[in-house]
């Protein structure tokens, strides 16, 4: 029987969606679902959601729950990682402290000072997960959803290359789907290829029946000045390839926008947006818990299937699929650094997840990506080497931070962030510099 372990199962809305997708496949309706969270209440809620979802879909999975990660991982075939180290309180610190220095962020979970410190508090937990997988389920696939995606996959590539890890994100899929709706083209008729890094990949191929859809997008932008008031539309017009993450995300990976009041207004950038989203996630958790414990039915309808259920189904059944995944760059993109995480097309079947070689990105796309990658590489190096100076250097080369703050301010900000997150960071990184 296939065993699927959920780490961070208390992310109940996301867990509900994944469970609905998994149990909708006939071949997966009898799997074992091993749920793990470090919060007893959230774990209880996740179990209730799993049982209710199975009941509504008339599926018969075996459902287990444990506060002990090792117990949940025993014999797993697939491990879905959706943890958030520090939860909402840490997110608030990630925004409020940089804001006092004048540093604007929108999401703060991928790059920048927020992304750096989210990574540094996540890496020690990844160490434990990798160690447990080696001992308890060495053949399992680790399907990572936790951000910062590229840094986490880059860290695992550096410290646990023997663990079969792939990062899964819906950004390429939803970008193509949304553009299709904008242009009036059914998603199923679009041929596309994305490649780059997570949250900053590029649509290298974007076609309908053999013809590029980019001229049609150009015409749409020319007719609609309000549509041009979005960061990634601006990026596309200047770089020539469409980026695969929202404008909110994209704005903080670049040096051009957030530090200028006029650009924030022109492009309608929602500064600090993730504080609202994170607070909303907390509220949605409480509403979902209240609803499921009251015996109310869950909404198990889905517009699209997440990647993890598709990966699991393909490996179990052999049905071939093509997704976009995040993996270590071993000859996949020739003009991005070897060994760090890249996002590329992957074939999935009974043999597992097999990334496709893309070759060289357009030079302007690779140039923008390299700024993104440099931050992640230095953050990984800081953790691997236990070097607090490297944390500062990662912040110094971050595009948005470097465009906004002096180097002295960056140094002071990193010291304050370190003090605020001290209990979640590796001890070596908390040393004074």
Q: Whole-angstrom Cα distance, residue 430 to residue 433? A: 9
Tokens of 147: 């951000």
Q: Are 365 and 388 in contact (CB under 8 A)?
A: no
Q: Beta strand pairing status for 62-66 and 32-36?
A: parallel
Tokens of 240: 């020539």
Q: Where are the beta strands (DSSP E) in 122-199?
A: 141-144, 164-168, 190-197
The CA-atom distances, in angstroms, between 279 and each of 13, 88, 92, 273, 282 are: 14, 7, 9, 10, 5
Cis peptide before 73 (omega within 30 of 0): no
CB atoms within 10 A of CB 216: 17
Q: Where are the beta strands (DSSP E) in 288-405?
A: 321-328, 341-349, 352-355
The CA-atom distances, in angstroms, between 96 and each of 108, 305, 334, 424 are: 11, 35, 38, 18
Q: Give the active site residue among 88, 170, 208, 259.
A: 170
The CA-atom distances, in angstroms, between 120 and each of 72, 177, 187 are: 24, 33, 38
What is the distance of C-alpha 306 from the center of its chain?
Answer: 13
Q: Whole-angstrom Cα distance, residue 60 to residue 72? A: 19
Tell the residue number behind the tokens 């003090």, with chain if given: 419
User: Does the active-site annotation cover 421?
Assistant: no
Q: Whole-angstrom Cα distance, residue 132 to residue 123? A: 14
Q: Whole-angstrom Cα distance, residue 256 to residue 197? A: 19
The CA-atom distances, in angstroms, between 51 and each of 59, 288, 303 are: 9, 14, 22
Q: Whole-angstrom Cα distance, residue 425 to residue 379? A: 13
Catalytic residues: 170
């Amino acid at each position: 029987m296939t065993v699927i372990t959920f780490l961070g199962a208390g992310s109940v809305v996301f867990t509900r969606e994944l469970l609905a997708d998994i149990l909708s496949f006939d071949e997966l309706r009898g799997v074992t679902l091993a749920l793990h969270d470090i919060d007893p209440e959230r774990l209880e809620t996740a179990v209730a959601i799993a049982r209710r979802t199975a009941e509504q879909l008339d599926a018969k999975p075996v459902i287990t729950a444990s506060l002990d990660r090792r117990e949940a991982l025993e014999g797993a075939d697939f491990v879905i990682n959706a943890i958030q180290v520090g939860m909402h309180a840490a997110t608030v610190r990630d925004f409020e402290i940089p804001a006092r220095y004048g540093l604007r962020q929108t999401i703060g979970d991928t790059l920048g000072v927020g992304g750096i410190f989210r990574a540094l508090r996540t890496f020690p937990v990844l160490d434990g997960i990798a160690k447990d997988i080696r001992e308890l389920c060495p053949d399992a696939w680790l399907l990572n959803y936790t951000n910062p995606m590229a840094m986490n996959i880059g860290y695992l590539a550096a410290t646990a290359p023997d663990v079969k890890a792939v990062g899964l994100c819906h950004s390429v899929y939803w970008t193509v789907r949304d553009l299709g709706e904008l242009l009036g083209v059914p998603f199923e008729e679009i041929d596309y290829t994305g490649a780059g890094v997570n949250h900053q990949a590029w649509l290298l191929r974007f076609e309908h029946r053999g013809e590029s859809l980019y001229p049609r997008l150009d015409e749409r932008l020319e007719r609609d000045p309000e549509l041009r008031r979005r960061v990634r539309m601006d990026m596309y017009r200047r770089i020539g390839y469409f980026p695969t993450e929202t404008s909110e995300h994209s704005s903080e990976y670049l040096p051009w926008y957030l530090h200028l009041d006029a650009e924030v207004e022109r492009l309608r950038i929602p500064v600090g947006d993730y504080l609202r989203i994170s607070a909303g996630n907390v509220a949605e958790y409480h509403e979902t818990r209240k609803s499921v414990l009251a015996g109310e039915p869950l909404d198990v309808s889905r517009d699209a299937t997440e990647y993890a259920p598709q990966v699991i189904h393909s490996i179990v059944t052999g049905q071939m699929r093509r997704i976009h995944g995040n993996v270590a760059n071993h000859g996949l993109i020739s003009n991005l650094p070897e060994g760090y995480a890249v996002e590329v097309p992957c074939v999935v079947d009974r043999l597992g997840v097999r990334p496709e070689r893309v070759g060289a990105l357009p030079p302007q796309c690779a140039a923008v990506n390299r700024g993104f990658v440099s931050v992640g590489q230095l953050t990984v190096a800081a953790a691997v080497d236990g070097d607090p100076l490297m944390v500062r250097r990662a912040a110094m080369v971050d595009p948005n931070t470097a465009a906004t703050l002096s180097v002295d301010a960056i140094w002071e900000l990193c010291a304050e962030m370190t003090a605020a997150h001290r209990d979640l960071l590796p001890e070596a990184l908390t040393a004074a510099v």
